[in-house]
Amino acid sequence: MWKKIIGTARGVSALFLILLNTLLWMIPLYIAGIFKFLLPMSWFRKIFNKIITFTCNSGSSWNNFIIDMTQNIRWDVLGHENLRKKDSYLVLSNHQTWVDILVLEKIFINRIPFLKFFIKQELRWIPVLGFSCWALDYPFMKRYSREFLEKNPHLRGRDLEITRKACEKFRDMPVSVMNFVEGTRFRPEKHEKQQSPFTHLLRPKAGGTALVLDALGDKLQTILDVTIYYPGGPKGVWAFFCGEVAEVVVRIEKLAVTSEVLGDYFQDAEFKHRFQRWINGLWEKKDARLKALAQTRDRAEMAN
């Protein structure tokens, strides 16, 4: 009973401080974003982009400080050494919970350029959120269903062109493009529906990753393959802030951007097959890594 009350108080305090911090940093973000919109010349945009990036890094750093002060989490992170804010990265990760975003912010802030997440184009029109994403240069993606394209064949390839143009704006600045390759959070029912060949992962969606590499391949220095594991099981955001996550394990592998992963995924059938084989191999290693981490924790618990 008392444990639940203390956890709820911890969650309320942490969320209040996070929201307050976010609102405070939204003020300079919006001011810079408005000027960026009103003065779209490239020289002004570069100035306001620097202001916006500084604002976001500062706000995220304070969020991390709040998490450290309100939570008692053991962070077991390997592979985040020797990263540089002047380089550009493609970050690939498994996805189990919205807490993953907080984890990625925690381990990468001020180590690499501010993470840019792909956003559904429909979110552009949501008040506050849409403008913030635009100011941050988050790439908006337009996805057409197979049924829609069958009725509107003239729009075939339009969604890919929108995504490619969204990526091209990053060619003049260091960037970290974030992609949850599974496309959605892992759930047992989704795993079963997909008949996924992996134990701890959904099937990877290769198209989005291939498109980013095609648009920015010569700009990217490194691919960061991130594996996130929660020894106590993944939790939701509220449970996280209530102190129910005791440990987070992150393993990062640096991969070179080679000719093997560069090509036209949607026009070159041979490259498409090769790329799918590459990303499935990446997922096989990630699945084995998650399995090994789970077995290590199980043995430790049995020993205790």
The reported pLDDT for the residue numbered 276 is 94
Residue 191 sits at the vertex; the CA angle it makes with 142 and 302, to the nearest 5 degrees, is: 130
d(CA 191, CA 202): 6
d(CA 82, CA 88): 13
Q: What is the 3-state secondary structure (H, E, C) of 16-28?
A: HHHHHHHHHHHHH
Average pLDDT for residues 259-266, to the nearest whole number? 86
Same domain, 200 and 236: yes
Average pLDDT for residues 278-295, to the nearest whole number? 94
- Tell me if residue 91 falls in helix, strand or coil: strand
pLDDT tier, 304 (very low <50, low <70, confident <90, very high otherwise)? low
The reported pLDDT for the residue numbered 162 is 67
Same domain, 257 and 281: yes
* C-beta neighbour count of 135 within 10 angstroms: 21
What's the chain's average pLDDT?
87
> Could you tell me where the DSSP H helices lie in 42-169?
42-70, 99-108, 129-135, 146-151, 158-168
Average pLDDT for residues 142-157, to the nearest whole number? 61
Domain span at 16: 1-70
The residue out of 21, 46, 70 marking a domain boundary is 70
Our count of domains for the chain comes to 2
Q: How many residues does the chain have?
A: 304
Helix, strand, coil percentages for the chain (3-state, nearest 5): 55, 15, 30
Average pLDDT for residues 265-280, to the nearest whole number? 90
- Write the burial class of residue 157 (CB in 10 Å: 0-12 exposed, 13-18 middle, 19+ buried): middle
Same domain, 163 and 244: yes
- Write the burial class of residue 8 (CB in 10 Å: 0-12 exposed, 13-18 middle, 19+ buried): middle
d(CA 200, CA 273): 24
Same domain, 213 and 106: yes
Tokens 């790439």, located at residue: 139
Average pLDDT for residues 34-56, to the nearest whole number? 88
Average pLDDT for residues 138-145, to the nearest whole number? 68
Angle between helices 158-168 and 206-216 (to 10 degrees): 50
Q: Give the distance, in angstroms, between the CA of residue 176 and the centroid of all CA atoms in the same chain.
A: 9
Domain holding 140: CATH number? 3.40.1130
- Write the burial class of residue 276 (CB in 10 Å: 0-12 exposed, 13-18 middle, 19+ buried): middle
Over 80: is that where the pLDDT of 277 sits? yes
Q: Which amino acid is at 186?
A: F
Same domain, 16 and 95: no
d(CA 130, CA 121): 9
Over 80: is that where the pLDDT of 179 sits? yes
d(CA 70, CA 136): 28
The reported pLDDT for the residue numbered 296 is 78
Same domain, 175 and 115: yes
Same domain, 47 and 144: no
The reported pLDDT for the residue numbered 282 is 96
The residue out of 20, 49, 70 marking a domain boundary is 70
Q: Identify the residue with better confidence: 130 or 177.
A: 177
Convert the pLDDT of each residue in 220-256 to its tens digit: 889 999 999 999 899 999 999 999 999 999 999 999 9
Over 90: is that where the pLDDT of 293 sits? yes
Over 60: is that where the pLDDT of 149 sits? no
Same domain, 47 and 169: no
Average pLDDT for residues 36-41, to the nearest whole number? 86
Q: Which amino acid is at 92?
A: L
Same domain, 89 and 223: yes
* C-beta neighbour count of 282 within 10 angstroms: 20
Same domain, 65 and 96: no
d(CA 303, CA 298): 9
The reported pLDDT for the residue numbered 292 is 93
Over 70: is that where the pLDDT of 266 sits? yes
Same domain, 139 and 209: yes
pTM of the entire predicted model: 0.89
According to DSSP, residue 92 is labeled E
The residue out of 48, 70, 92 marking a domain boundary is 70
Q: What is the 3-state secondary structure (H, E, C) of 161-181?
A: HHHHHHHHHHHHCCCEEEEEC
Same domain, 16 and 145: no
Convert the pLDDT of each residue in 159-178 to its tens digit: 667 677 777 777 778 889 99
- Tell me if residue 282 falls in helix, strand or coil: helix
Q: Which amino acid is at 171?
A: R
CB 90 within 8 A of CB 224: yes
